[in-house]
Amino acid sequence: MNAIRTCWLAIAILASVLSAASAVAEDWEFRPDLGGALDNDTHLVWAPLASTWGGGASVNWAAAQAGCDQLAQQTQLSGWRLPTLDEAQTAVNHNAWTYFNEAWGEGDPACWTANKEGKKSWTVRFMTGVAAMLNAKNGLANFRAVREIEYWTYREDLGGWLDHHTGLVWGPTSTTWSGAGWSWDAAMLFGIPQYQQMTGNPNWRMPTLAEAQTAYAHNAIVYFDQTWPGTGGGFLAWTSDVDGRKRAWAFGMGPGNTMAVSKASSLWFRPVYRP
């Protein structure tokens, strides 16, 4: 009986560990193109410890701030800065150190934050979450820079607008290259393959309704109109989601409206893919 209990206890512990690991994997994503570890909840990118990339393991507060500029030059990515105390503590609550340690094998040194009170500044340890104040001029600590990312970047090499928060690339509506509307079946069977052949990219597909709604929430049409002005933002476009046998869901990227329409209707579509 004790052996059985021990076995079940071991299974429960393993399940708990795997569940925690899965949660970390979903919350965090290693994005070298963005400069480090992306927290998908806050949309902040965290760099490795300064001691990892050559910014110094023990520096004062002013040197840490200057180190953020050094990191910007080194990575060719703008916006690196010291995190606020609140941002650092939020990262701790999001199990940041588990991911940082997995990605870079780091320890748990005190790291400067942007918060300064008088002659002292706050530091945070990302593993234990301990926050403490040090003399900004004479105190020595490590630091971990952070940067906020824009939702969208136009990537000609990828063929469209990249949403950094979802990792999806959105192409132009079918009006820019076909000039005609498509029934849902024709768009799925012929339109998408035609665009794949035109671009030489077999990964283009029809977006799901949820993906279209997320792009709308990220103000996609503002960016799409910069490259493809007036290409269907105010009109319904097909998604891959169906509503029974005869209808499919369509979404208006401009007004944000959703409607289930007959598959025989003539609508545009905007292809999407994940690089």
| Residue-number span of the structural domain to which 91 is assigned | 24-148
* pLDDT attached to residue 61: 96
Q: Which two tokens stand for residue 218?
A: 């990220």
Largest CA distance in the chain: 73
CATH number for the domain that contains residue 195: 3.10.100
Question: Are 267 and 235 contacting, i.e. CB atoms less than 8 angstroms apart?
Answer: yes
Report d(CA 207, CA 238) in Å as an integer. 8
Based on the fold, state whether residues 166 and 126 are members of the same structural domain: no
Based on the fold, state whether residues 172 and 136 are members of the same structural domain: no
Based on the fold, state whether residues 217 and 157 are members of the same structural domain: yes
pLDDT single digits (tens) 127-159: 999 999 999 999 999 999 999 887 788 889 999
Residue 3 neighbours by CB distance under 10 Å: 7
Average pLDDT, the chain: 87
Task: Assign 259 a pLDDT band (cuts: 50, 70, 90).
Answer: very high
pLDDT of 1 over the 60 cut: no
pLDDT of 196 over the 60 cut: yes
| Structural domain includes residue 53 | yes
* pLDDT attached to residue 20: 35
Of the candidates 176, 167, 204, 177, the one whose C-alpha atom is nearest the C-alpha of residue 188 is: 204
Task: Assign 202 a pLDDT band (cuts: 50, 70, 90).
Answer: very high
User: Mapping DSSP to helix (H, G, I), strand (E, B) and coil, where does residue 89 land?
Assistant: helix
pLDDT single digits (tens) 100-126: 999 898 889 999 999 999 999 999 999
Please tell me the total count of domains within the chain: 2
| Structural domain includes residue 6 | no
Upper half-sphere CA count for residue 234 (Cβ side, 13 Å): 2
Comparing 17 with 53, the larger pLDDT belongs to 53
Of the candidates 37, 62, 41, the one whose C-alpha atom is nearest the C-alpha of residue 126 is: 37
pLDDT single digits (tens) 156-182: 999 999 998 888 999 999 988 887 799
| Structural domain includes residue 246 | yes
| Structural domain includes residue 189 | yes
Contacts (Cβ under 8 Å, ≥6 apart) of 122: 85, 112, 113, 115, 116, 131, 132, 133
Based on the fold, state whether residues 144 and 181 are members of the same structural domain: no
Report d(CA 225, CA 18) in Å as an integer. 44
| Structural domain includes residue 83 | yes
